[in-house]
Chain A
């Protein structure tokens, strides 16, 4: 099973700041890495798929990069609605796995 390790566990930032979230895989997942945002009481929302492709309707301030085992989600300038939990997911190997999540909180 591919283990995805997200860091940091919690990130405290202010609106307008830049956020950088990391996801490291225990083995290569090629480019099949996705990112999700989840707010309390809501289903996850797809942000990025295949490392760097924004899903429909996702603002340009969200971007993804990386390859192989190291991936990054960047939010260029935080908006109040961006404070949530973020998960990475790999789809290259069965079973599909998720990272443990990064909580992005308002400083």
Chain B
């Protein structure tokens, strides 16, 4: 069974940092592109980042470029999102999603507030 489980969310002050993790199982992680998508409270979906199967290629939404860094550890079947210089506009549920967006995690809530 394919599973994606996000962790690392929480309350952080404006300007702070947070690192999200996405632990996966049930598929050959190293063969798949992975994505991060977020959803602000009561709002729609926003694609955040993409990373190729090897980790050599990455893409970011303009809203996070220069502040967020996506990475992966294929030996640990895990995906990461390092988030720096957080602002209130980054408050959202963050989802990891497999290539093709056929499997998603349950999401982890990031709240940026003083």
Contacts and interface: CB of A to CB of B under 8 A. Distances in A.
Given A87-B45, A97-B47, A101-B44, A43 B102 contact: no
A46 B102 contact: yes
Contacts, number: 46
B104 A43 contact: yes
A60 B72 CA distance: 36
Q: Sort A-B residue pairs by CB-CB distance and give the 9 closest, nearest first.
A: A43-B104, A96-B47, A98-B45, A101-B44, A100-B44, A46-B102, A95-B61, A46-B101, A87-B45
Contacts of A38: 45
A34 B35 CA distance: 15
Interface string B50-76: 100000000101100000000000000
Interface residues of B, number: 18
A36 to B, nearest CB: 7
Given A44-B45, A87-B45, A100-B44, A95 B104 contact: no
B106 A43 contact: yes
B100 interface: yes
26 contacts: A1-B62, A36-B45, A36-B101, A38-B45, A43-B95, A43-B105, A43-B107, A44-B45, A44-B101, A46-B100, A46-B101, A46-B102, A49-B100, A56-B102, A87-B45, A89-B47, A95-B61, A95-B62, A96-B50, A97-B47, A98-B44, A98-B46, A98-B47, A99-B44, A100-B44, A101-B45
